[in-house]
Amino acid sequence: MRIIVCAKQVPDTNEVRIDPVKGTLIRDGVPSILNPDDANALEAALTVKDANPGSTVSVISMGPPQAAYMLRECLAMGADDVYLLSSRAFGGADTCATSTTIAAGIRKLGKFDIIFAGRQAIDGDTAQVGPQIAQRLGIPVVTYVMKVRELKEGSVIVERQLEDGFEVIEVSTPCMLTAVKELNTPRYMTISGIEDAYKKTITVWNENDVALRPESCGLKASPTQVFRSFTPPPKGKGEMLSGSVPEMAAQLVQKLTEKHAL
């Protein structure tokens, strides 16, 4: 089987700060990591590979040259080969242009059985890129995959997370599956894996390599327009109620009534 993983390098923080003047993300001084859901996606791919000798796992990412560090981490975890889509022409991409570029890279990779992506990236947080790539490649997608139950000839059975349970879906391959953290626990890099990772080559592709015109990628192909970005002001200090449970309940009802919330 050939498995492809979409991996994004993201700032190592949940508290993304926004430049109040430019309205852009402040990335300076924030270390970068492999997006957490993508680590689950890679682990799922490596698990399939372990169970199916002869399988290969390729990781693809779009990002600046420094995303190569994250791709080395993927190699050290056990990926066979990695591809970085990097070019000035890709800069300023919204999710639409991001998925166009990644889909073009995947087309260049050739035949595959399963693409694993993360459900969402912790910086952009849209959860759009996986399904958009599937749409561009014309393959089915299952989002929120929390378990891969069974691989069959020409299909895969997965559990899809719902708020109050899960649903079981059989999807034909090739397909896109987007991973949630409940899917697995990502493995650590091994010492020999780290050594091997530095012996391997990271293939870097620009727009010409994936047969995209400059106007089909990056800012020029991004219909999203951001009018304003801002950090919501912190909420006021909370108030602790005291007394017995019935007393606190009475106080709470009184306060909510005063605020016309009840």
Residue 260 CB-density burial (10 A; 0-12 exposed, 13-18 middle, 19+ buried): exposed
CA–CA separation, 87 vs 65, rounded Å?
Answer: 9
CA–CA separation, 4 vs 59, rounded Å?
Answer: 6
- Cα dihedral 36, 39, 44, 49, rounded to 10, equals 180
Interface segment toward ligand FAD; rule CB under 6 A; list 74-82, 92-100, 165-173, 246-254: 92-100
| Ranges within 144-173 binding ligand FAD (CB under 6 A) | none
User: Per-residue contact track with ligand FAD, 192 to 231, x per CB under 6 A?
Assistant: ------------------------------x-x-x-----
Q: Which segments within the chain are labelled E, that is strand?
A: 2-6, 9-11, 32-34, 56-62, 81-85, 114-118, 141-152, 155-162, 165-172, 175-179, 202-205
Binding of ligand FAD at residue 105 (CB under 6 A)?
A: no
CA–CA separation, 102 vs 207, rounded Å?
Answer: 11
Q: Which of 11, 63, 78, 193 binds ligand FAD (CB under 6 A)?
A: 63
Interface segment toward ligand FAD; rule CB under 6 A; list 43-51, 71-79, 91-99, 200-208: 91-99
Binding of ligand FAD at residue 143 (CB under 6 A)?
A: no
Binding of ligand FAD at residue 91 (CB under 6 A)?
A: yes
Binding of ligand FAD at residue 125 (CB under 6 A)?
A: yes
Q: Which of 37, 43, 159, 207 binds ligand FAD (CB under 6 A)?
A: 37
For residue 125, how many other CB atoms are within 10 A of its CB?
A: 10
CA–CA separation, 121 vs 83, rounded Å?
Answer: 19
Interface segment toward ligand FAD; rule CB under 6 A; list 85-93, 167-175, 189-197, 202-210: 85-93
Which residue minimizes CB distance to ligand FAD?
A: 124
Q: How far is CA 22 from CA 13, 93, 212, 220, 226, in A?
A: 20, 17, 30, 19, 11
Q: Which of 32, 77, 112, 130 binds ligand FAD (CB under 6 A)?
A: 130
Binding of ligand FAD at residue 40 (CB under 6 A)?
A: no
CB of 194 to ligand FAD, least distance (A): 22
Q: What angle do the packed helices 36-51 and 67-77 form, to 10 degrees?
A: 30
Which positions touch ligand FAD (CB under 6 A)? Answer: 6-8, 35, 37-38, 41, 61-63, 91-95, 98, 102, 117-118, 120-121, 123-130, 222, 224, 226
